[in-house]
Amino acid sequence: MKSMTGYGRAKEERSGRTITVELRAVNHRYLDCTVKAPRQYGFLDDAVKKAAAARIARGKVEVFVGVEAEEGGDVAVTVNHALAERYLAALRELGDDYGLRDDVTVSVLAKLPDVLGSERIEQDADEMIRDVTAVFEAACDGFNQMREREGEKLAEDVRDRCAAIERMVGEVEKRSPERVREYREKLLTRMREVLADTSIDETRILTEAAIYADKTAVDEETVRLRSHLHQLDGMLRETQPVGRKLDFLVQEMNREANTIGSKANDVDMARIVVDIKSEIEKIREQIQNIE
């Protein structure tokens, strides 16, 4: 069980570069990953997104990649050998013509224009992708650990609320037959008041009570609601992402609660149903954070 909210960071020295990867995520219906890297490393985008998809199922994820080359590490110094040879030949000719001592050294030759040059080393894209992906994996380890800790807290809270709902469902089941008995007694009292001395048809009273009981019976709804609670508890124990399944299941729980409420026709049951729906709504809010 993981939360969709988390943060991870890793920094490593690889191939003469300091690579830093940070990632953070918030809730989102699907996986939405964006990668921000230095402009010259735009080729990293697809590789990092692929690595993210392998480790993260849902969430709006932002990945920040920083690359710092060692001082001068991305610059190559080149020697213009052809030009150096022409300079050397010219210097020796000058010495011979004027009888000068040949004191040409490497430092003298290197100072002559254009003998030495510099150029940026072309990046090895495959090597860079391997290095950045490795650092991303390290950052993702910390990111997932944080999400797992938060997921455990969310699961614990949801279980507590499910237990509360189950207790209230028990109250509804207990109240339901009492409500029918009260209706029958109320109906009998009214019939006696209206008919006075006239005899009362007990069969008719029982029939009316049976019709009322059938219209207001919530047995099927409470059984399904208990079943949903059992399913939800099982999903909370799964290791695979279950956020979308939980969202659907909570919708079904809310539907059963609404049906019970519509059949209640009783102040006490209506109060219990309001409390049940309140807990279901809190569960719904919590599972919005679950991957």
pLDDT given at position 248: 94
User: Each residue of 184-227: pLDDT tens digit?
Assistant: 556 556 655 555 555 656 666 566 555 555 555 677 888 899 99
User: Each residue of 170-183: pLDDT tens digit?
Assistant: 988 887 666 656 55
- pTM for the predicted model, two decimal places: 0.67
Q: What percentage of the chain carries pLDDT values higher than 90?
A: 49
CA 52 to chain centroid: 11
- CA separation for the pair 20, 1 (Å, rounded): 27
Which tokens sit at 219? 């047995």
User: Each residue of 49-108: pLDDT tens digit?
Assistant: 999 999 999 999 999 999 987 655 556 678 888 988 888 888 888 888 888 787 888 888
Which is more confidently placed, 29 or 209?
A: 29
Average pLDDT over residues 144-164: 95
Query: Domains of the chain (ranges plus CATH)?
Result: 6-71+123-147 (3.30.230.10), 75-120 (no CATH), 150-287 (no CATH)
What b-and-e string marks burial along 215-247, b requiring 16 or more CB atoms within 10 Å of the CB? ebebeebbeebbebbeebeebbeeeebbbebbe
- CA separation for the pair 37, 17 (Å, rounded): 14
- CA separation for the pair 66, 141 (Å, rounded): 18
Residue 167 has pLDDT above 60, yes or no: yes
Average pLDDT over residues 152-164: 95
- CA separation for the pair 239, 249 (Å, rounded): 18
Residue 26 has pLDDT above 90, yes or no: yes
Average pLDDT over residues 224-249: 92
Radius of gyration of the chain (CA): 39
